[in-house]
Structure 1
């Protein structure tokens, strides 16, 4: 993008938050309680709040006829974050889990969902949350005059969908990180998917149906490790394809029933007697023959494909002139993979009345990071704190982060035969989290000193506590194994 000169700080009065997961809920609360706005609402397409922590619809809930958007979570999921890092500011702390006494201090899926429902309850009673309401498009209006949001809604009596549009001064997108699973570009994967021989962790619901099967799991982050561990007692053979040893934040226990193998170079499908099987040719020259299925724990990409923005002097137009045409905010070819043009991972630089919360990935503090980011946003949009008014200055954050990430990837590639980890990416905070969140918090406290004792803290001491969760999770897994779980 070319510099557009002065861009005033946004001062919206009516704000719509999209998404009823942890990020959206705390953003809604913070905008309403810590900002100065006329109206703030949240819409959620499913029939309950909770986002990824809400597994599936309540069977006793009214059948609205709406599509189902299952969570990428799965039965039996146990988190990797201690309750203290799941606790929102100015709200009762996340309760200690009942299993803490047995060596499992990490919350279950249902416990996390219960906490989020309790947090949302007063917002629901205030009429600030609309369920069964899907956002189909967010479209920027000319001259920074607002956003047209196209929605459809299902009613409890099964009627609908009703389609309509609303105009809002500002929009916060707090969704779309788990809607778009990532598959590797390995030859043969497209055919695997066409024949339903491949499944992403997004659709994993447990090892049922895999008894006696030969299964390959690709990836050794949390999802890959959990799928392999759940398959081990059931499947006939379990292989786990990895590029490098486990990142410390994704602990797993050695299991003689799980064979770790090299990355896959190619998949070949064989059909005989009405049955399809898979040969996985590995990069070390060996082959895994006659596999029944391949499961991918290979992550997701942030891709809010429903957001359309005006083309603000986009250089690939060739003429550098704002042609007033709506275009996707992000496309499949956006490179490096990210939501582009965001100041501090939050404000859309060409029009800061659009914000995103939750695009920066923090494995161990997603709740508290969304809390401090949305508090900063509430004060920025209220005028309590200022941010840059030059496009070039607004984009300096993105430029610096992209350069830092590229330097880290080059360094890793020079020392790691497997190439740079996917965790070295623009949207993954990693070691940058303390500096990033701490700086946002400091700005908030300068503007509102009374929040100093309320907001979560980022410091070397707190970082050490967070990193100690890695070993604590491993010990929890060992305790569960000792109990036969």
Structure 2
């Protein structure tokens, strides 16, 4: 390990959600690079927390990238774990009974945080990154489309010394490989949670929900008062304790789906399902799939690492990428073959706001040469190899490993990961010790109190609604 000499002057951040915004702040204020800009393809910042601009014309020439959020969404993370360093999240007005910020409250927080950067012009909205291509000299060519009112989709090219990719996973929904599902999708009977906007329109309908993480639990709970009951929820295993939900006699938990059978009736297209336990369920109108997303930033094109003459580009990620990951990253951050490309938010974590704050601070100091990292591609690839070996061994020890026991989900490793990064940051900048979040067993225990608090908040909300 040696201190890097990269020290880029011009840095581009892609993505105006929480991870991109805090990366922008840290690169400007802690990295103090010559010029840093952030581009966001939508017409406002916030990422998943920006639902949509209701004034956005549906016949606009500008493409739309709707958030997978939905009206009435309430988060599952307490304000303490949503707070960027030196910018605490305000207490929600419904605390202590409902201490979890809503979609609107979270977007307001991000808006307030981003305001000085919007005013200074270092955030460009309505700017879509079409392609990022590695140059032979190690820099990056970015092809952008300007979808502002004046730009009207004009494409421009820019060259940057370094690029930070801070985009979410939500462009890439995961669909189960279940017999008959593709036919249902083609008929509009199967929909992914990415497109859930609430239960309206499902009155009296017979509905199946697949999955039992947060999105599936929310969909089932919202459908129960309106849809034909029971609402069926197909699950493979009991939910992790972090996916908190209330029991509801109107929701029936059933086995995984083995097969979907499309059929035509006098009431239009419907479908039956056969479950893996042999049970058959009849006459469904819709199935909502809540099986998550995967990282796949396919707009990144790198020089083929196996091409010694550096003449051919390849997509950094592909549908066939094993272990469902952004490949070749040192510590989920630096692209091993050219560390002037970095990722913020590559792994799924319990506390994405605080991890992004930590990671982007580490990155700022690493690019300044204040934090050491391996000075060869081979050295930077060791992290990925060890991580893959660990995941393979872990899954082999389980009879029915969870879909969350994968390379790109930090899970129980988050504390160790955060502690190690912070130690390196503090070694370089001791003044950040009490500014950045602490990573310790005590903090993990505090985070674990989130789940019983969420359950109590759900009960309180249900009781409040029953009064009206």
- TM-score normalised per structure 2: 0.96
Moved more, 367-376 or 320-329: 320-329
Q: Is the 8 A contact 1:7 1:390 kept in 2?
A: no
Q: CA deviation at 1:179?
A: 0.8
Q: Is the 8 A contact 1:9 1:387 kept in 2?
A: no
Change (3 A) 1:197 1:60: closer
Q: CA deviation at 1:483?
A: 2.1
Asked if 1:194 corresponds to 2:174, the answer is no
Query: Which aligned pairs between 1:128-207 and structure 2 lie closer than 5 A?
Result: 128-144=122-138, 146-156=139-149, 160-207=152-199
CA–CA separation in structure 2 for the residues paired with 1:69 and 1:329: 22
Deviations 1:85-115 (A, max 9, x none): 1110122x101001114x1100000000000
Q: Is the 8 A contact 1:43 1:133 kept in 2?
A: yes
Query: Which aligned pairs between 1:420-439 and structure 2 lie closer than 5 A?
Result: 420-439=401-420
Hey, what does 1:69 align to over in structure 2? 65
Asked if 1:109 corresponds to 2:103, the answer is yes
CA–CA separation in structure 2 for the residues paired with 1:294 and 1:112: 30
Secondary structure at 1:484's aligned position in 2?
A: helix
Aligned length: 465
- TM-score normalised per structure 1: 0.93
Hey, what does 2:241 align to over in structure 1? 248
CA–CA separation in structure 2 for the residues paired with 1:287 and 1:61: 44
CA–CA separation in structure 2 for the residues paired with 1:274 and 1:258: 24
Q: Is the 8 A contact 1:262 1:284 kept in 2?
A: yes
Q: Is the 8 A contact 2:14 2:163 kept in 1?
A: yes
Hey, what does 1:221 align to over in structure 2? 213
Q: CA deviation at 1:311?
A: 0.3
Secondary structure at 2:264's aligned position in 1?
A: strand
Q: CA deviation at 1:323?
A: 4.9
CA–CA separation in structure 1 for the residues paired with 2:263 and 2:31: 60
Hey, what does 1:3 align to over in structure 2? none
Change (3 A) 1:287 1:118: same
Hey, what does 2:202 align to over in structure 1? 210
CA–CA separation in structure 2 for the residues paired with 1:383 and 1:203: 43
Secondary structure at 1:438's aligned position in 2?
A: helix
Asked if 1:95 corresponds to 2:90, the answer is yes
Q: CA deviation at 1:274?
A: 6.3
CA–CA separation in structure 2 for the residues paired with 1:107 and 1:381: 34
Q: Is the 8 A contact 1:379 1:444 kept in 2?
A: yes
Q: CA deviation at 1:10?
A: 2.4
Q: CA deviation at 1:322?
A: 4.8
Hey, what does 1:373 align to over in structure 2? 359
Deviations 1:300-320 (A, max 9, x none): 00110100000011xxxxxx6
Q: CA deviation at 1:231?
A: 0.1
Give the aligned CA root-mean-square deviation in angstroms.
Answer: 1.8
CA–CA separation in structure 2 for the residues paired with 1:299 and 1:147: 31
CA–CA separation in structure 1 for the residues paired with 2:49 and 2:117: 18
CA–CA separation in structure 1 for the residues paired with 2:362 and 2:3: 19
CA–CA separation in structure 1 for the residues paired with 2:188 and 2:385: 40
CA–CA separation in structure 2 for the residues paired with 1:390 and 1:70: 40
Asked if 1:460 corresponds to 2:441, the answer is yes
Secondary structure at 2:438's aligned position in 1?
A: coil
Deviations 1:392-444 (A, max 9, x none): 2111111111111112211222xxxxx21111011111110001011001100
Q: Is the 8 A contact 2:24 2:37 kept in 1?
A: yes
Hey, what does 2:16 align to over in structure 1? 20
Which runs of 5 or more residues in structure 2 are unaligned?
A: none
Q: Is the 8 A contact 1:153 1:161 kept in 2?
A: yes
CA–CA separation in structure 2 for the residues paired with 1:266 and 1:143: 52
Secondary structure at 1:98's aligned position in 2?
A: coil
Hey, what does 2:52 align to over in structure 1? 56
CA–CA separation in structure 2 for the residues paired with 1:248 and 1:453: 31
Query: Which aligned pairs between 1:444-455 and structure 2 lie closer than 5 A?
Result: 444-455=425-436
Q: Is the 8 A contact 1:9 1:352 kept in 2?
A: no
Q: CA deviation at 1:33?
A: 0.2
CA–CA separation in structure 1 for the residues paired with 2:283 and 2:220: 18
Hey, what does 2:305 align to over in structure 1? 312
Deviations 1:272-305 (A, max 9, x none): 3361111110000001111110001100001101
Instruction: List structure 1 segments (4+ residues) > 3 angstroms apart after TM superposition.
Output: 6-9, 60-65, 320-323
